[in-house]
Structure 1
Amino acid sequence: MEVMSRNPVKVGTETTVEEGAIIMTQKGISSLLVEEGNEIVGIVTERDLVTKVVSKNLQGRNIRLKEIMSHPLVYVEEDSPLEVAAEIMWKRKIRRLPVQSKGRVVGILTENDIVRISPGLIEITRGILPGRNEGIINGIHGMCDECGEYSENLVYRAGKYYCERCFSSIEPL
């Protein structure tokens, strides 16, 4: 995915909200990937800072990013079509999507990236074209809407994502 931002900024789980906000401001970015060891375990966005800290009048210097990060992450594979990434964003109601290659995060894709390269795809991220791409979509990793288990091969059907086990047990349309 040429359109993604490569080398997203990563910080540790023990980074404070205050430190994270300073990094985001200095680098002119709107999100941070949170890592533990060498594994990406979450993402913190400007929205997280506003809704989970500022709106509650909490002190950012006393809160660790691991306490407010969104997790588990949903990824898209680097070789996935842009339309698949846009549909994941719509389904999961997210505006930033980590991109991985060979199990390693190599970038982050945003709604703005999609608009810049292909303005028509923004409709997918907003859910204007629901019901497309039913069946197995390679590259969708995340939680099954039915059982809550993590799967690396989610199947999309009728507005929900299923692991292969749950998908095999649902009634045909």
Structure 2
Amino acid sequence: MGTVRNILQSKGSAVYSISPDHSVYDALELLEEKNLGCLVVVENEKLIGVFTERDYARKVVLKGKSSKETPVREIMTGQPIVVTPTTSCEVCMQLMTEKFIRHLPVVENGQLIGLVSIGDLVRMTISDKDYLIDTLSHYITG
């Protein structure tokens, strides 16, 4: 199984972020525009949290708050679990399963360099399995 670096090389390292002082509504617009499930929250060029659709559903909708009046800071998930480019996909899957999360910011030398999702890990796993099956098939058939 590969590493986070392999995923970022395949999908790219574009990361969409938002300021903690923007409204939840602004964050939702960006999620919809970019077809995302998560934004990283950055303040003074430093990762301070993540904002997800789950945060919105549980901390705005169910609490009766207004998305136009609530700042991202109030509902973001602070101190997110992060990984490095050398973290294995297997470790990422374990973290996501144990912590019930779907996105992991990727940090190298204190800098945010990417984001991996559960979908990225599933695609990598399928690709690895397809490669293994193809290799074994060629070996068996000579």
Q: TM-score, normalised by structure 1?
A: 0.66
Residue 7 of structure 1 and its aligned partner are, at CA, apart by: 2.1
Aligned pair 1:50/2:57, yes or no? yes
Residue 56 of structure 1 and its aligned partner are, at CA, apart by: 2.3
Aligned partners of 2:33 and 2:117: how far apart in 1? 19
Mind listing any 5+ residue stretches in structure 2 that lack a counterpart? 129-142
- Greater relative CO (CA pairs within 8 A, separation 6+): 2
Query: What pairs up with 1:105-124 in 2 under 5 angstroms?
Result: 105-119=112-126
- State the partner residue of 2:104: 97
Aligned partners of 1:58 and 1:2: how far apart in 2? 40
Q: TM-score, normalised by structure 2?
A: 0.79
Residue 2 of structure 1 and its aligned partner are, at CA, apart by: 2.5
- State the partner residue of 1:68: 75
Aligned partners of 2:110 and 2:37: how far apart in 1? 24
Mind listing any 5+ residue stretches in structure 1 that lack a counterpart? 122-173
- State the partner residue of 2:131: none
Q: Alignment length, in residue pairs?
A: 121
- State the partner residue of 2:7: 3
What is the CA deviation profile of residues 26-77 of structure 1, one whole-angstrom value per residue up to 9, with x for unaligned ones? Answer: 1111111111101010001011111111122221111000100001111111
- State the partner residue of 1:12: 19
Query: What pairs up with 1:131-142 in 2 under 5 angstroms?
Result: none
Residue 105 of structure 1 and its aligned partner are, at CA, apart by: 1.1
3-state DSSP of counterpart to 1:50: helix
Give the partner amino acid of 1:40. Answer: L
Higher strand share: 1
Of residues 89, 99, 102 in structure 2, which corresponds to 1:82?
Answer: 89
Aligned partners of 1:13 and 1:24: how far apart in 2? 15
Higher helix share: 2
Q: Say what the alpha-carbon RMSD is for the aligned residues.
A: 1.7
Aligned-residue sequence identity (percent) comes to 26
- State the partner residue of 1:25: 32
Aligned partners of 1:95 and 1:79: how far apart in 2? 19
